[in-house]
Structure 1
Amino acid sequence: MVHLILTGATGLVGAATLQAMLTTEAVTRISILSRRPVAQAEGQEKAHVIIHKDYKDYPSQLLEQLKDAQGVVWALGVSQNEVSKEQYEEITYDYPLAAAKAFSTLHPETPFTFIHISGEGATQTPGMFTPIFGRVKGQVESALLDLGKATPNLKIYNVRPGGVDWRQHPEIHNYMSHQALYKKAIIPVFSFWKDMTTPTRPMGKILTELAMSKGEPLEGKDIGQEGRLVPNVALRRMGGW
């Protein structure tokens, strides 16, 4: 019996992950933190939507509802083109770090696995021309890894999907967020270079399996940072595509 937490369920990665969680028999409860209702969860007995407005604050009443959760897939995010620099930093850096600190207190004596959705292009060694996305994602990756090292029960994985490809995943088409026209145009082009794309169906399965795990370091020459960084090439290998 496994209880998992999910954020960003109305987005593309979140919708794919929710579909995988719903169809994984071992997952018996899904707590979805969301600012608004989640249509994909309606009528699903094991999915419970918790309306949560402030992702920097986790009151005791909320943590009580999550107390037996084994892990989380943190898929909450936004494009750097949709918000101000300050808003992007708050959503991308402050939110997941606050959540990781709070969730690590749920059951301090046993592992809690935190799957942070980053992205290809993130870097922990930014240069002069690194975009905001790459710099901030890299900063939160580093901060989460440092927190994990300082918090023995908190097991961090930073996962970097490439161009997320939803086209062969019809189960989520009615629930996923609207995709910008440039994404619809570029994904078919990227699909010719497989290492640049991430199909949603196997991605959701891998993210769910990682969240269900005890968070032990992963192995493989394509895995980075002592088993904690999963680039897209590793995602594709793990998913067998």
Structure 2
Amino acid sequence: MVRNHTNAVRRHTDVAEHHTNTDGYHRNLVGHDTNEDRHHTNVVKHHTNVVRHHTNAGRHQANVVGRHTSLVKHHKNMVRRHTDVLGHHTNVTRHHINAVRYHTNAVGHKNNLVGPHKCGETTPICLDITPMGKGVKPIWPDIKPMRLNITPMWLDIRPMRSDITPIWLHITPIWLNITLMWLDATPMQLDITLMWFVIIPMWLEMTQMPLDITPMRLDITPTWLDITIICFNITLMWLDITPI
């Protein structure tokens, strides 16, 4: 009976040690599962960071496009202003040509009125000149203000030239900004390219993760077999102790 009791105690001790080992093994499996969860969390965080990086790259590209659009609008406005200045210059030139023609016509008209009178054709011409005498005098009052109109025309042309000069000053930084815009866009393209190198290994890690979980499930399966054996051994132990 003593030997039987001793054997039962030893067997109980072995079962308890086996149970302790099983608990330790189970804790290792739980720790392994925790590590897998942490790894999955890190992969998700990494994926989130990649998506944020992609979003930031998209925003940067949108800002570059907006800046380019603003520069194009600014360039169009400068071209329109240049066109307006050229149109103003054309109008001033036409005004000058018309003034010269008006002056030439006035001088010719005066010569036509005075010329035949000098030639001695007095009788018929005087009949024509007499009613036109009132019309001869207003010619010079018309020519005088015409000259006054020609004078400010040159004043208009001078500032017009000064207006054309800033146009080139505006166009030059536009080209500089466009050049810088391409330089800004270049690293963005490099970032997007590198982003794919980051995403590819991330997908590989996520693909391997189920492979890591599979052996973990295989490790858990023998645990249940060990627990079943433990319960069976405990049952036998009670059967051994009962007759004692």
TM-score range, shorter-chain basis?
Answer: under 0.3
Larger relative contact order (CA 8 Å, sep ≥ 6) = 2
Q: Compute the TM-score of the two structures, normalised by the length of structure 2.
A: 0.16
When normalised by structure 1's length, the TM-score is: 0.16
Higher Rg: 2
Between Structure 1 and Structure 2, the one with more strand by share is 1
Greater helix proportion: 2
